Amino acid sequence: MAGHNFLFVPGPSNVPNRIQRAMMVPMEDHRSPKFPELTLAVISGLKKIFRTQKGTPIIFPSSGTGCWEAALTNCLNPGDTVLASRFGQFSHLWVDMCERLGFKVQLIEVEWGEGAPPDLYQAALGADKEHKIKAVLVCQNETATGVASDVNAIRRAMDAVKHPALLFVDAVSGLGCIDFRMDDWNVDVCVSGSQKGLMLPAGMGITCVSEKALAARQNATQPRCYFDYLDMVKNNAQGYFPYTPSIPMLYGLKEALAVIEEEGLDNILARHTYLANGVRAAVQKGWGLQLCAKDAKWYSDAVSAIVVPEGFNAAQVIERAYKRYNLSLGAGLSKVAGKVFRIGHLGDLNELMLMGAIAGAEMAMLDMGIPVKAGSGVAAASEYWRNNQPKVAA
């Protein structure tokens, strides 16, 4: 098919040309005296993305899932209890990992379309008088439902009852798209990955750990090997890795961090909100459809999950968009399979790129008989973007 594929899944996201070019490097000796320049540069740059002075960024050759496992196995002991909420496929998968690794999960079940509930976290932690809960898990951005949660509110809930548990945050699809503040929110482990807001291919697990988390690692007895924090920290301090890193990915990360620095992180976050508002205008005002996120406070600036009308199959819309218009949309997962399709609006994007996603989704819906007005989504998004600008928070 002529033209390029329009990639609008919520990850992997588009990789800018300059980052692709930066990755086209010959292989080199990762034990050379020069290699630490690259390692130390990317670790220093990541601290700015996590907004931390005290935290330690760590890069694993994995996806974000590997960083999930690292958080659990480095900081906890066999049989420890964790507190987690489940409100989408990815929060579910982290819970599933906890159980498969032998941890006890105190689960807060939440309706899909809502986010992590601070009041229920506070109630559970307040009732834990013996402090059996050792870690609190929260998914900042649930890509399956297009829901973003308030991490700072979870921290305030923990502080309100003076609970000493560690705070683990999944920011895989949030970092670089949605505000995250490691130090201000006193997060102990943030889990992320390369293929979302950092605009890289998949394959690099990126995490940041607090001093408290590293101290917990000193006494934790859960088995670990490949994902051992201390092996990484000791080697990274000298600019090296305990095993062979992906050299092209490191050069790509260095360039991605330069791209972010040039635009400015606050400007990037404001751009994501602005672009997301245009997509939501297309969905709600143009098409007259609903988002899976049940309230504006849950809206994600990284991805929108659009609910198709009763009697229609979202999977057919996705298939039509791909085969007829060369547009890749995100599928509904698990409980929302066939009920929603997703538009990822994260990473290296502007208004005209998103117009392609909106127009393609609109045509695919019309082809499947969904009664939306031709041109309505594009018109609503255009109206919003033409009359607004990104607003950078003071």
Both 143 and 87 in one domain: the answer is yes
φ, ψ dihedrals at 269, nearest 5°: -60, -40
Residue 369: Cβ within 10 Å count: 10
Both 246 and 115 in one domain: the answer is yes
Task: Tell me the whole-structure pTM to 2 decimals.
Answer: 0.97
Q: Would residue 198 count as lying in a domain?
A: yes
Give the model's pLDDT for residue 2.
Answer: 83
Q: Would residue 9 count as lying in a domain?
A: no
pLDDT at 144 over 80: yes
Q: Would residue 166 count as lying in a domain?
A: yes
Residue 376: strand, helix, or coil: helix
pLDDT at 238 over 80: yes
Give the model's pLDDT for residue 1.
Answer: 72
**Tens digits of residue pLDDT in 284-299:** 999 999 999 999 999 9
Q: Would residue 341 count as lying in a domain?
A: yes
Both 75 and 189 in one domain: the answer is yes
**Last residue of some domain: 235, 262, 289?**
262
Chain CA centroid to CA 83, Å: 20
Both 288 and 375 in one domain: the answer is yes
Both 217 and 147 in one domain: the answer is yes
Of the pLDDT bands very low, low, confident and very high (cuts 50, 70, 90), residue 307 is very high
Q: Would residue 91 count as lying in a domain?
A: yes
Residue-range definition of the domain harbouring residue 276: 265-386
Give the model's pLDDT for residue 311.
Answer: 97
User: Residue 272: CB partners within 8 Å, gap ≥ 6?
Assistant: 177, 178, 301, 302, 345, 346
pLDDT at 392 over 90: no
pLDDT at 275 over 80: yes
Closest CA to 146 of 65, 227, 89: 89
Closest CA to 265 of 174, 344, 351, 378: 174
CA 257, CA 262: separation in Å to the nearest integer? 9
**Last residue of some domain: 262, 280, 314?**
262
pLDDT at 394 over 90: no
Both 51 and 125 in one domain: the answer is yes
Both 380 and 242 in one domain: the answer is no
Give the CATH number for residue 337.
3.90.1150.10
**Last residue of some domain: 222, 240, 262?**
262
pLDDT above 70 covers what percent of the chain?
99
Q: Would residue 10 count as lying in a domain?
A: no
Both 89 and 178 in one domain: the answer is yes
Start-to-end CA distance of the chain, whole Å, equals: 46
CA 265, CA 276: separation in Å to the nearest integer? 17
User: How many domains is the chain partitioned into structurally?
Assistant: 2
pLDDT at 213 over 90: yes
Both 313 and 244 in one domain: the answer is no
Give the CATH number for residue 113.
3.40.640.10
Both 42 and 176 in one domain: the answer is yes
Give the model's pLDDT for residue 359.
Answer: 98
Q: Would residue 323 count as lying in a domain?
A: yes
Q: Would residue 358 count as lying in a domain?
A: yes
DSSP letter, residue 173: T
User: Residue 253: CB partners within 8 Å, gap ≥ 6?
Assistant: 42, 45, 59, 194, 198, 200, 204
Average predicted confidence (pLDDT) for the chain: 97
Both 248 and 291 in one domain: the answer is no
Both 54 and 65 in one domain: the answer is yes
**Tens digits of residue pLDDT in 80-103:** 999 999 999 999 999 999 999 999
